[in-house]
Structure 1
Amino acid sequence: MTQVDLPEARDACPTTAQKRLAEGALLVDVREADEVAACGFAGCAVMTIPLSQFEARFAEIPRDREVILACATGDRSLKATYFLMYQGYAKVTNMKHGLARWVARGFPVTGSATAVSAGGCGCGSGTCC
């Protein structure tokens, strides 16, 4: 197997991501359905593809549009960012600190912001982050 050297993934804080989303970037939320149902990103174009389905569904993500990947804390979305980079996507950015920081900054959400804690994912399973 050939080793592929990828550049370091780009990342953006939720404030910077909010600007890019207002300019037309697409937010891809890689959290699981129960997490999204409890509290989700709002006020921007959002596509939900859980990390558990990401390999099978990544082709749904447009290659010609800037994409910001997000999860609860930024860990799973970083994995998804590198996966897309490996697949040849050039316009991908990871949202650092994810939904936890988004909520802390007071950005719009669906559901209950209390479902998200600054230190965790809010999904209740304890295994997703």
Structure 2
Amino acid sequence: MNETVKKDLVEAREVCPTTSHRLLGEGALLVDVREADEVAQVGFAGCDVVNIPLSEFEARWAEVPRDRDVILACAVGERSLKATYFLMYQGYDRVANMNPGIARWVAKGFPISGSAEGIAASEAASSCCGGSAAKKDGGCC
């Protein structure tokens, strides 16, 4: 890969659920990219949230506001990372991926709707810090 292309690549900002919870309390919007059946089982609560499933994201991305901070989330952070990069490609600069997603949100005891029974225990127990004491955003969940 040539140097010009390497310089243009920007890494997506990632935040853990604890940091996300704080940012949401400060006015950020949560965009849940899970499918409707997943959201119906267990959803994020206690914050401003909109559901745009990844399967519909390419057609609906313009619904995401450009004038406020946006956190994208899914079950464990993989689908939401794709949506984060998609928005970055569209020129959004106030976006971040919640990594991991609702599994860790549930494990931290943050507000939910529905039942967390379907959340895999291994997903909820995994460390968002990869064993280190801090993450890129300066905090840890």
SS of 2:8 mapped into structure 1:
coil
How far apart in 1 are the matches of 2:112 and 2:56? Answer: 23
SS of 1:27 mapped into structure 2:
strand
Structure-2-length-normalised TM-score: 0.81
CA RMSD across the alignment? 1.8
Offset at residue 3 of structure 1 (A)? 9.8
Partner residue, 2:119: 116
How far apart in 2 are the matches of 1:119 and 1:62? Answer: 34
Superposed, which structure 2 residues align to 1:25-104 within 5 Å?
Answer: 25-104=28-107
8 Å contact kept, 1:6–1:85: no
Q: Which runs of 4+ in 1 moved over 6 A?
A: none
8 Å contact kept, 2:104–2:123: no
Structure 1 unaligned runs (5+)?
122-129
Partner residue, 1:10: 13
Offset at residue 118 of structure 1 (A)? 3.7
How far apart in 2 are the matches of 1:50 and 1:118? Answer: 23
Offset at residue 5 of structure 1 (A)? 3.3
The count of residues paired between Structure 1 and Structure 2 equals 120
The one-letter amino acid of 2:47's match is C
Query: What is the percent sequence identity of the aligned residues?
Result: 68
Offset at residue 109 of structure 1 (A)? 0.3
In terms of Rg, which structure is larger? 2
Distance 1:84 1:4, change over 3 A: farther
